[in-house]
Amino acid sequence: MLGDVVGRPGRETVAKLLPELRDEYTPDLVIANGENAAGGLGITKDAAQTLLKAGVDVITLGNHTWTKKDIIPFIDEEPRLLRPANFPPMVPGRGSFVYKTAAGVEIAVVNLVGRTFMVPVDDPFRVADELVGRLRAITPIIFVDMHAEATSEKSAMAWRLDGKVTAVLGTHTHIQTADERIFPKGTAYITDIGMVGPTDSILGMRPELVINKFITQMPQKFEVAGGPTVAMAVIVDFEANGRATSIARLCIRATD
């Protein structure tokens, strides 16, 4: 799974590096969080199709799902594009998808968003319990993107789902954490995968604009930074019974 893809630099980095990573690791499934893929906030149809064409199998989103309004009709048309499952039930799109590999193995992907320090949504723990219970009737291999601000909320979700899902992988904060591990009952976990985007930035954005926001507390339009990029990801190995056997971080510095 690739961390949050930020703007055009992130999309171009995915297009450049993912074919090589596929050749090296031969993954059964590639997931990417794309909620920042268009201009640094939200995703468009074109941005989503660019990631899918580059070799991403499933795209997860987060709190910026609806920032670009043209995604609303497309998210109903493209089953591989997920919005958080604990959004209100009447909104477009879906919160999970079952992907079938070339070998016929079914792998479920679930997208959730946290509530701590974020906009109010339905309880992700209740939704996770219900959704994972239904998906386990289809496949024991389940990957969860827990898109949240609070590290405690991400960790709590992993403990809650330990032994019920293959992995709980954190996104949203764009900073890769060094706490990857396998939980006691076989669930892989990391608090945050990181991002795919500009290296010389603050979370992918031009530093001076973010600094000005902190100093003045005035409204500020952020812009995606330029320059060299980084691709952060995790590789998870798992067994047919859904138990993870290893999780490893990747952090690849790309050139201009």
Active site residues: 64
Q: Which of 252, 196, 238 is nearest to 54 (CA)?
A: 196
Contacts for 237 with CB less than 8 Å, ≥ 6 apart? 244, 245, 246, 247
Coil, strand or helix: which one is 247?
Answer: strand
Terminal-to-terminal C-alpha distance of the chain:
23
Which residue type sits at 43? I
Contacts for 222 with CB less than 8 Å, ≥ 6 apart? 40, 41, 205, 206, 209, 210, 213
Contact 127, 96 (CB under 8 A): no
Q: How far is CA 117 from the centre of its chain?
A: 18
Q: Cα angle vertex 181, ends 143, 190, to 5°? A: 55
Question: What does the DSSP 8-state code read for residue 135?
Answer: H
Coil, strand or helix: which one is 61?
Answer: coil
As separate numbers, helices (DSSP H) first and strands (DSSP E) second, the chain gives 6, 12
Give the C-alpha distances (Å, rounded to integers) separating 245 from 49, 74, 188: 32, 36, 8
